[in-house]
Chains A and B, each alone.
Chain A
Amino acid sequence: MRTESNTLDALMARLADGDRAVFARVFELLWGPIHRLCITLLKNDADAADAAQEAMQKILERASDYDKSRPAMPWAMAIAGWECRTLARKHVRRREVDDAGHEQSGEHPEEEFVQRNLTAAAIAALGELSEADRETLVATFWDEAASVSGATLRKRRERALDRLRKTFRRLYGLD
């Protein structure tokens, strides 16, 4: 996994430099993890495919801005996470409009509804954090080693989780 991550870092650096020969390989290396992340966050194959496509477009559109001193995967994951959050928010908003219009309830199983709301709430809280915190948490989620390791990474993760908890509490009034 580490080797694959190093390969991606090197290829992303070349792509940022304008080496188009590595484009297809970068696409291959990114697509799988990004798609899986979107499925995990959105719990819906169609939505996940949409979000992953949008995320891929944004990641490679910004490939020239890629900072070579940082690992590529968490950076890409943060963009994908943000994209999923945007899509989830859009859906929540649309559902609220639909619910208000039709005054229908109980269409979906309650459990799924709660799960989706929780996911959307978590993604929204994640979106309130700084990019560095988001990257740390996404990297933790995917078990990706960031640019630092050991005690520094643990401390950074603790702080990011603490901030996420505080944000969640501020937004929703509960842990």
Chain B
Amino acid sequence: MDSTDLTHLQRRVRWAYELGRLRRALLGVAPVLVIVAVAACVAHRPVSTLWFGLATVTIGAAMLWYGRDPQKAVLPGIAAGLVPLVFALCANHMHACGANGCSSLCVPACALGGVVAGLAVASVGNQRKAGPWFWVSASSLALLTGAMGCACIGYSGVVGLGVGFGAGMVPGLLRRAFGEKST
């Protein structure tokens, strides 16, 4: 085979490699579809849940296809995001009643879940001494997964999740910053 044929073959093989990765990524992200379906069935606002779920699935698949740090962040990110998701879905069916009437527990549940998710992502990131792409990827997936449930009373739930998540990340980020300085 001459070099032109080899270049052509290399291009064809590269395409096959990318398709192979894509197929694997779609298979890998399939369990998230089950989570999205369950969340949409339980949630009060299934349309928002489905939009956030679609974003989670698409970004998760893209990360798995791309590989490297983002690929390694998919599992910890989604696992961390399940905490605020479950908290929010449970809070959907509870409310606190006082003298002035009843209020939903969605925002506090999302904020608390966000703190736990932030702590979890930071802990895994520090444990693996991961690069910034891992932190960014895991955080975005955790937030998107959590947001599927936190859209329960509009976007204030999602804001609560974001604030909680940021607060949860602070100790991990500080440990990383000071750990790097000391070494």
Q: Is B170 an interface residue (CB 8 A)?
A: no
Given A23-B14, A49-B1, are A60 and B68 also a contact pair (CB < 8 Å)? no
Besides A49-B1, A53-B9, A56-B13, 4 other A-B contacts (C-beta < 8 A): A23-B17, A57-B12, A58-B16, A61-B19
Chain B contributes a number of interface residues (CB within 8 A of A) equal to 17
Which of chain A's residues have a CB closer than 8 A to the CB of B17? 15, 23, 60-61, 63
Complex contact A19–B67 (CB within 8 A): yes
Contact of A61 among B1, B20, B68, B71 (CB under 8 A): B20
Bound Cα distance from A15 to B16, whole angstroms:
13
Q: Total A-B residue pairs with C-beta atoms closer than 8 Å? A: 43
Which of chain A's residues have a CB closer than 8 A to the CB of B1? 49
Nearest neighbor of B1 in chain A, beta-carbon distance: A49
Which A residues lie at the B interface, using CB under 8 A? 15, 17-19, 23-24, 27, 31, 49, 53, 56-58, 60-65
What 0/1 readout, one digit per residue, does chain B (132-165) give for beta carbons within 8 Å of chain A?
0000000000000000000000000000000000
Q: Is B10 an interface residue (CB 8 A)?
A: yes
Chain A: minimal CB distance from B4 (Å): 14
Which of chain B's residues have a CB closer than 8 A to the CB of A23? 14, 17
Which of chain B's residues have a CB closer than 8 A to the CB of A27? 10, 13
The winner among B1, B17, B71 for most chain A CB atoms within 10 A is B17
Given A17-B71, A53-B9, are A64 and B16 also a contact pair (CB < 8 Å)? no
